[in-house]
Chains A and B, each alone.
Chain A
Amino acid sequence: MPLDVRVASSMAEAAGILASDQRTKLLSGGTLVMRDVNEGRLLDGTLLRITDPAFRQMNTSGARVELGAGVTLAMVLNNRDLAYLHAVARAVGGPAIRQMATIGGNLFATTPYGDFAVALLALDAQVMVQSGYSSARAIALEEFLNARERGISGLVTGVQFARPQHAADFRFYKVSRVKPKGLSVMSIAAHLPNAGGRISQARIAYGAMAPTPVRARGAERALEGKTLDATAIQAAKAAALEGTRPATDAIATEWYRREVLPVHLGRLLSAEGR
């Protein structure tokens, strides 16, 4: 019973197949699943491909941005409306990987991968999940990521989020050993909307600082209602580690990640980030 491949022409059909057969895995960009196939971790069952154009659809012009789960990082890079996300997309893989890797797939990438999900978390994105033939329901990305550790069911059809008022309100900073491209020592995304010179509803997210991308609640609180000055940044740095659970891996130790997180957060906030 070697692997076989099925093709679904609609998302509903795909969701139905996934719901009815536990041994079916969605093959989106292939960067995660095909590696498992090549290395013998995935040996039987069914790979599901989706040809539904909606899977790769983008609505990026309006205030509400909608990206199909099958949208690749290359498509993001080629879309002018999404300029504020280009730095994030460019932080993933090389050109060939970006041609294949999808936003949906990135939501399932385990740490220290998944930098795009970090950005989406800071943008308070909703994940559209379709279970069976019912219509898709929206789940907050944070909730989705928490559920991911327990194993999520259903088909991720896309993500939605409110476009930042000003591109400058959104910042992303990835720390990696290898230039120009490498695994995250950590990545930090921050959405810092600013009303009358004061930050309101700051959302900051970390990658590689926990088993999944996580919110930086301490830093967010420290900045709320403040002007982004040295004092506020100091306060944010002091609260930077709240809620983090970094791991030791081939890239860095837990100790190192904790030690430099405040430094890099400070650089992001003071726009010193490279």
Chain B
Amino acid sequence: MLDIRKDFFANERDDNLNVIGKGIQRQDMPGHVTGRSRYFDDHAFEGLLHLKVVRSPHHHARIRSIDVGAAERAPGVKRILRAADVPVNKNTLLSLINFGKDDEPSLAVDKVRYKGEPVVAVIAESEAAAMAARKLVRVDYDVLPAVFDVEEALKPGAPVVNETYPHNYFEYHEKFDHQKLRFGDTEKAFGAADLVIEERYQTSPIEHAPTETNGTIAAPEQENRFVVHSCAQGLFFSLGTAAKILDLDSNRLHFIGGTVGGGFGGKVDSLTEPLAILGAMLTGRPVRYVLDREEEMLYGSPRGAERVYVKDGLMRDGRIIARHIRSYFDAGAYTRLSSYAAVKCTAHVPGPYWVPNVSSDIYVAYTNRCPSTAMRGFGITAADFALEVQMDKLAHAVNMDPMEFRILNAYRDGDMKAHRRVAKNTALIECVQVAAEKARWPLSDNARRQSSLEGGGQGERGQIPATPIDQRGQIGRPETRNAPATQMLPAGTMRIPLTKQPELEGSRDARPAAPNVPRYEPARPMAQPAVQAPAPLAPPPTAPPSPPGAAPPAAPAPAAQPQHGAMRFSSVFGTRRR
């Protein structure tokens, strides 16, 4: 089923190692086959209580009133949790790295923004008692109009999903309604292309569907701390999130996890930990909060749907000379991690190919559906579906074999990527060659002769081209979405300093050799890479909108800040928490 082709890149490897590279049995396998592996739910507690949440039946509604009286009096009920019981009832996951504004409550306050949003939590002696009491909670709603389509959501006048982002999009750099990528002059190149092909792709949401549903058991521990058996994919991520929401010092929490029944990205959100711990704090007893399967399927955050428009300029000989991507991440009602995926996707454009002119506009849109989150291949999977189906269509359009077409356009060591860094350690061509050989898919001698190690970075392949930049899509100013380019960045322009080498603590003996550090070679000095001042900014949204078409007046340009390892995300994205 799997073989290793040691004949490739052999001179780049020392295969004389002791245990690395050997198919040694997993440390955790004996536990798995004997049923002894301990997952979060496999812990016995005396007096265990069970937590169930009351969820919104509406996609979008104002909460008029909540009456928990009958539920509180129901048999077996120990405590009802309401929004007011949550110490810090507004959070966004990436606030831990200072990226994005707090926008999501643990329990809904004035409004529900998606069907299934938690409103009230019931804690009782048994799951049955909690479920019975849950039915007694009375919530009155005023139903509001909802929006489900990403492009509809971005139109002026669409229902406002999430007041923290009142225009239904995540705000990048406190400046734009999307994340930009600009490399060369795509518009001009489309004009020069033999063929221009634009297509629309749509992926669906995907449920992570781990066989173990999300859940937590939290219990008071000695020394006035709380032990938390968690299924989190990021132990300290979840600990930090819980500490913030519960306004506790991190050392009051003792998180135990690490053995998780599948995650695939669906156990990053830390939705069950804070409420379970809060329950343990307020009842003084162990509290278990586990999503049932229907909750996991319908209200556990999915991989978000993505809509991707790909526009390519193609020459008859098969060379792609321009690629523009416009895509929309469907974040659902809250940000969670979608904001980060869009940036990861931006760095991935145009895929593993060298294209001289590339641009993209990537939006994160809010809709009235369950918030989406990370999933296996986050930010890349949908783009790859779109790009690789597009590649098949392009090959078809110029009547080329799709494998030959990939090899012709493949990126190679030394090529300049669209995010203005030099590619290295590439191997796409070799993968295509080996797959073709295995599948007995005929390749030309010329295609079989190609190599990732040769031909990359030659001439313009290694250069950063002159690039027109624009101020389109300013926050709160939809009329700027079609504004013209405002400035031409000279060839070779770099504004972001190269990352310094990784911190790698642990000294003394250097054997075996420490991993090399990532090094980005700057563009070869055709035009000396110079750190330039940013382009003139458009006036802030508060200023009167300039008439469409008119170039915005110039404003003083802030000098580029020096970068260092300790830099906060806030300085990356300019979205410090409010």
Contact = CB atoms under 8 A, between A and B. Distances in A.
Contacts of A3: 128
B135 interface: yes
Contact of B132 (A2, A38, A39): A2
Interface string B121-132: 000000111011
Contact of A2 (B129, B135, B292): B129
Residue among A39, A40, A44 with max Cβ neighbours from chain B (10 Å)? A40
A2 B128 contact: yes
Contacts, number: 22
A251 interface: no
A161 B495 CA distance: 82
Nearest to A38: B292
A207 B353 CA distance: 50
B140 to A, nearest CB: 22
Interface in A25-41: 37-40
Interface in A170-203: none
A44 B136 CA distance: 14
B74 to A, nearest CB: 11
A39 B128 contact: no
Nearest to B132: A43
Interface residues of B, number: 11
Interface of B is mostly: helix
Interface residues of A, number: 8
Interface string A111-154: 00000000000000000000000000000000000000000000
Interface of A is mostly: loop
A39 B294 contact: yes
A69 B5 CA distance: 60
A40 B50 CA distance: 13
Nearest to A37: B128
B417 interface: no
B135 A39 contact: no
Contacts of B131: 39-40, 43
A43 B52 CA distance: 14
B134 interface: yes
Contacts of A37: 128
Interface in A1-36: 2-3
Contacts of A38: 292
Contacts of B75: 2
Interface string B105-147: 0000000000000000000000111011011000000000000
Interface of B: 52, 75, 127-129, 131-132, 134-135, 292, 294
Given A3-B128, A40-B135, 18 more contacts: A2-B75, A2-B128, A2-B129, A2-B132, A37-B128, A38-B292, A39-B131, A39-B292, A39-B294, A40-B52, A40-B127, A40-B128, A40-B132, A40-B134, A43-B128, A43-B132, A43-B135, A44-B132
